[in-house]
Amino acid sequence: MENHSHNHEHSVQETVQDMVKAMASKGWRITDQRKSLATLFAEAEGYLSPKDVYDSMRPKYPGVSFDTVYRNLRLLSEMGVLEQFYLNDGLKFRARCQSHHHHHMICIQCEKTITFEFCPMKHVPHLPEDFEIMNHRFEIFGYCSDCSKQPHPASN
């Protein structure tokens, strides 16, 4: 298991290029705003909420609306460029990990992400033969070693 930033050994530039390529392959016009969005996620150390993205984009693009930002985030998530997570304070996004198949443990207090190589899909008994699995996600939420030492609110 290892701590990691969202893009592993992928450089910021490679992550931006991958995101822009994915957008272009879906027929999206590659605007300066979309390049800035890709750069924002490639450089981000953690998860970004739609409001975080909107607040980051507004100074450079004062005409951008929250709805446009949100719509782009959802579309980028649907095309597999961004991963979306529902954390304690709502929906957040980050650039999809590009390196290899793995899963995450996510601290619900500081949002630190730790990778682990175990894949539960390899051990699922009796999958229906007539169902073709195209993708899956598996995340474990809890407290990292630093946060587990601190008092935290009781979870539901």
Helix %, strand %, coil % for the chain, to 5?
35, 20, 45
| Residue 117 counted as domain residue | yes
57 closest CA partner among 76, 75, 38: 38
Q: Mark whether 108 and 78 lie in a shared domain.
A: no
Give per-residue pLDDT as tens, 81-140. 888 888 778 889 988 776 566 777 888 888 787 777 777 777 777 778 888 777 777 778
Residue 97 assigned to a binding site? no
Q: Mark whether 140 and 107 lie in a shared domain.
A: yes
Is the Cβ–Cβ distance between 3 and 114 less than 8 Å? yes
Q: Mark whether 114 and 43 lie in a shared domain.
A: no
| Residue 89 counted as domain residue | yes
Residue 101 assigned to a binding site? yes
Q: Mark whether 18 and 55 lie in a shared domain.
A: yes
Residue ranges making up the domain that contains 129 = 103-148
* Structural domains counted in the chain: 2
| Residue 25 counted as domain residue | yes
| Residue 23 counted as domain residue | yes
Q: Token pair of 8, please?
A: 């592993």
Q: Give pTM, 2 decimals.
A: 0.69
Q: Which residue has the higher pLDDT, 134 or 31?
A: 31
DSSP E strands, 1-154: 2-3, 82-87, 90-95, 103-107, 113-116, 139-142
Residue 153 has pLDDT above 50, yes or no: yes
Q: Mark whether 135 and 84 lie in a shared domain.
A: no
Is the Cβ–Cβ distance between 12 and 43 less than 8 Å? yes
Residue 32: which H helix or E strand, with range? helix 32-43
Rg (CA), the chain: 17
Residue 119 assigned to a binding site? no
| Residue 155 counted as domain residue | no
For residue 137, the model assigns a pLDDT of: 74
Parallel, antiparallel, or unpaired: how do β-strands 139-142 and 113-116 relate?
A: unpaired
Crossing angle of helices 66-78/32-43, nearest 10°?
A: 70
CATH of the domain at 32: 1.10.10.10
Residue 110 assigned to a binding site? yes
Q: Mark whether 83 and 112 lie in a shared domain.
A: no
Residue 136 assigned to a binding site? yes
